[in-house]
Amino acid sequence: MKIYGDVISPFVRMCLVTAHEAGLQGKFEFVKTNVKPDEINLVLHRLSPVAKVPVLETDHGHGVHDSRVIIEYLVHTSGHSGLLPHEGVKRFRILTLQALAQGGSDAAVSLRYEQAARPADKRWPEFLERQKQRVLDVVSDLENNWGDALGGVNVGSICTACMLGYLDFRHEALEWRTRAPKLAAFEKDFAARDSMTAWAIAK
């Protein structure tokens, strides 16, 4: 199988780190792929009309997207069910944590596009403020309500660590650590894992 994307994308990194934690090193090819919000990437478009990264291409040539589905695919094919337990209460708690980190990442990426890609005369300050607030609300919720699920290695904690890595990379000015000391301690530990260093964002 192949995974298309760039590790700069929090969604791509979530998939790569999951693949590593699932023991799939060497079992997939990483195809570095750049995207721009105002251009179609035709390689991706062949596999997914949405044409965002990440996309996974199966050995049968089928496209699997988006990151949520790719993560589930990786856990399923590897048999590493501890990353996303079957038991209902745990499963939906972890999936909701994953959705929280992915929702925060969506806002963080929108914020980046607004700041860096949108032409200056077309910027929308209220939208920008709303995305900032959304990211910070996610950080506060992670700080206050998710200590249990963040205590283990699962798809929720993986996605959270990748979201925080992206905030450090693109949105240092938000200074998320000042409002979230427990989350900062989580990030420090998790960022040292082999899976995270193997797929570190090149600075």
Ligand X SMILES: N[C@@H](CCC(=O)N[C@@H](CS)C(=O)NCC(=O)O)C(=O)O
> By the criterion CB under 6 A, which residues form the site for ligand X?
9, 11, 35, 37, 52-54, 66-68, 102, 109
Q: Which is closer to ligand X, CB of 48 or CB of 195?
A: 48
Which residue reads 């996610």 in tokens? Answer: 138
User: Least separation, in Å, of the C-beta of 161 and ligand X?
Assistant: 16
Q: Which is closer to ligand X, CB of 142 or CB of 159?
A: 159
Q: Which is closer to ligand X, CB of 8 or CB of 184?
A: 8
Maximal CA-CA distance, the chain: 51
User: Least separation, in Å, of the C-beta of 102 and ligand X?
Assistant: 6
Amino acid at 49: P
User: Least separation, in Å, of the C-beta of 181 and ligand X?
Assistant: 28
User: Least separation, in Å, of the C-beta of 118 and ligand X?
Assistant: 12
The per-residue b/e assignment along 3-36, b for 16 or more CB within 10 angstroms, e otherwise, is: bbbbbbbbbbbbbbbbbbbbebeeebebeebebe
Q: Which of 160, 157, 158 is nearest to 101 (CA)?
A: 160
Q: Which is closer to ligand X, CB of 50 or CB of 182?
A: 50
